[in-house]
Amino acid sequence: MAGTITIKNGYVFDPLNEINGEIMDVFIKDGKVVRELSAAELKNAKVIDASGMTVMPGGVDSHSHVAGAKVNAGRAMRPEDHYKANLQKTSLTHSGSGYTVPSVYKQGYDYSAMGYTTVFEAAIPPLEARHTHEEMHATPLLDMGGYLVLGNNFFMMRYLREGDMEKAAAYVAWMMKTHKAYGIKCVNPAGVENWSWGKNVSSLDEANIHFEITPREIIKGLTEINEHLGMPMPVHLHANNLGHPGCYAITKDSLKIFDGVKTRQDMDVEWAETKIDPSRNRSVYLSHLMFNGFAGTTWADCESGVKGVADYINNKDHVVTDSGCTPFGEATVMTGDGPAIHDLYTLTGNKWSSTDVEMECGSGVLPFTYYKSNPVHSLQWAMGLECLLLINDPWKTIMTTDSPNGGPFTKYPEVMTWLMSEAFRKQTFSECHKWANDRSTLGGINRELSLYDLAILTRANPAKTIGMAHRKGSLGVGADGDVTVYNINPQQLDANDYEALLRTFRKAEYTVKDGEIVVVKGEVVSLPGKRTYYSDVHVQDEREKEMLVDVKDWFRYYTIGFANYPTPEKYLENPTPIQVNGER
């Protein structure tokens, strides 16, 4: 029977159901978690004996760069990234290459080998949505979706400037449907538009050129629209001044804008059974805190400002953040924040790509290597871990490397192990520049995360944060049958034996997707289908019509015709719209 399996006797970690290492069986029927299987079903079901092993829901990555034009620019401009990492074709799998920016097939296999089953692309420029969907379509084994970049969009900025919130909301709803996107991403609001003029903005109240709108106004407007429409996830904010010494202050001030915003998540979906409320309760999802967490005034006197932001988050309940950890080694930085990448270009002289996406946004790409010998890079390593260790409530944090910005997602095992093992952190301190210790608080932190914490940071909370906990991130009845089995016995876990932890997290013993075994000991063994999620947001027809009159009028400034703008559903692998009630 397809998609029917019993995973027996494992130590189960399922935070959305408050299950913390209990020995249990997990039953999956036709791809969904069920309470039990009948005797006949049991007879025909596949069985995984997980005795002495750790069982978690499949991994969920809520912020990664895996598809679209800038990812492909990263591939194209880095042949050196592809010599070193190759994958041979097998009778089942495609060949592939690429270390920091792998080809689509390889990235699907690599994620799956580590136990991940769901990955969301963090930035889709509307004009590049077709391309993004083509790459998501081609990425095997992962359920996917992505966030639409709207923080410097001409149409949005015009509506917000004019205070026409109704049309602005209708525009966002239409854009989600048109581009089959899932949530709102806001990158360096007002600043990316200024980058078209070789400039940036440096404060929340600095108006940009021509549109005369400030970052604060854009953030406020987008979040009002987000909650008005009942979107699955909060506004996903990439704050201003990213990567500048002193930027932690504007990051903290940006988070204050969301304080007191009433959240409204209104989706027509079936909710899996969970003990903890799986709906979202945050009004902002801050991206990669590490890159937005520098204190100081120059690179000479810079230090970690993560504690300043973490203290704020500890005292408030409206913020969730992902870390953007930087394990050392090769990376490719890529972001919609063009001016931030230009700054890195002037610092490094590395090859650099900068793109202006017509009336919508921009992007920059640059190869980058984080060295243990470099003072700032060492500090960044410490800051990334501070993001996850200084915020007390794991339900406010999500583990990422902002792949491939801080490093490729294949470095997650290192990050997981640093979080769980103070001994591993000490070992790394002994190898890297002393700024890591002198200019951060990491050396004084002895917190070691448990497997339960880790399941929150890599499964339950990313799913809850982005509004996917109705089917992802838990093993509750009705959830998707996505499971990771790690070959580690929690009863014998020794945080000092970090080599064993690294080995464990690098290769899942089993990855199960929709009840099918897809990975055994890190090797892909089957390739069942996958899904693409997007938000089908409903607004009043009249309002949409009025808004489209404006859009069609302004559309003459695009290089493409209006009819060619939308992304048809055929571009999506197994399109799975989430009905968002909006104004219905």
Q: Where on the chain is the footprint of Zn ion (CB under 5 A)?
A: 122, 402
The least CB distance from residue 518 to Zn ion, in Å, is 26
Distance in angstroms (rounded) separating the CA atoms of residues 519 and 503:
16
Shortest separation between residue 325's beta carbon and Zn ion, angstroms: 12
- Of the two residues 6 and 401, which places its CB atom closer to Zn ion in the complex? 401
Considering the complex, what minimum distance in angstroms separates the CB of residue 65 from Zn ion?
6
Q: Is the Cβ of residue 458 or residue 484 nearer to Zn ion in the bound state? A: 458
Cβ pair 276, 357 in contact under 8 A: no
135-139 LR contacts (CB < 8 Å, sep 24+): 135/66, 135/67, 135/68, 135/71, 135/72, 135/104, 136/66, 136/67, 136/532, 136/572, 136/573, 137/532, 137/571, 137/572, 137/573, 138/104, 138/105, 139/66, 139/67, 139/104, 139/105, 139/107, 139/108, 139/530
Write out the two tokens for 301: 């006197």
CB of 121: closest distance to Zn ion in angstroms? 9
Q: Please give the Cα distance from 536 to 328 (Å, whole number).
A: 40
Q: Which is nearer to Zn ion, 402 or 482 (CB)?
A: 402
Joined tokens for residue 291: 């890159």
Tokens representing 157 are 């900025």
Which helix (H) or strand (E) segment is 344 a member of?
helix 338-348
**For residue 26, what is the enclosing H or E element?**
strand 19-29
Angle of CA points 107, 353, 322, to nearest 5°:
50
Nearer to Zn ion, 70 or 439 (CB): 70
Cα radius of gyration (the chain): 22
Closest distance to Zn ion from the beta carbon of 85 (Å): 21
* Residue 6 or 403 with smaller CB distance to Zn ion: 403
CA 538 to each of CA 34, 172, 176, 324, 579: distance values in angstroms, whole numbers, following the listed order: 32, 10, 10, 33, 8
CB nearer Zn ion, residue 402 or residue 544: 402
Least Cβ distance, residue 422 to Zn ion (angstroms): 28
272 Cβ contact partners less than 8 Å away, ≥ 6 residues apart: 33, 278, 469, 470, 471, 474, 476, 477, 478, 479
Q: Minimal CA–CA distance to 582: which of 282, 231, 280, 236? A: 231
CB of residue 327 to Zn ion, shortest distance in Å: 16
For the bound state, the minimum distance from the C-beta of residue 236 to Zn ion, rounded and expressed in Å, comes to 9
Minimum distance from residue 62 beta carbon to Zn ion (Å)? 11
Least distance from C-beta 118 to Zn ion, angstroms?
17
The smaller minimum CB distance to Zn ion, of residues 65 and 228, is found at 65
CB nearer to Zn ion: give 143 or 402: 402
What DSSP string runs through 279-317?
S---SEEE--GGGG-EESSSTTT-EE-HHHHHHHHHH-S
Comparing CB distances to Zn ion, the nearer of 322 and 414 is 322
Nearer CB in complex with Zn ion: 265/287: 287
* Helix or strand holding residue 56 (H, E): strand 54-57
Q: Specify the residue, 122 or 213, whose C-beta has the smaller distance to Zn ion.
A: 122
Report the residue number, 290 or 483, with the smaller CB distance to Zn ion. Answer: 290
CB of 145 to Zn ion, least distance (A): 15
Token digits of residue 484: 């990771």
Asked whether the beta carbons of 18 and 474 are under 8 A apart, the reply is no
Cis peptide before 404 (omega within 30 of 0): yes
Exposed/middle/buried for 305, CB within 10 Å: 0-12, 13-18, 19+? buried
Give whichever of 122 and 284 is closer to Zn ion, judged by the CB atom.
122
Give the nearest distance from C-beta 492 to Zn ion in angstroms.
37
Closest distance to Zn ion from the beta carbon of 287 (Å): 6
Residue 86 tokens, joined: 């190759």
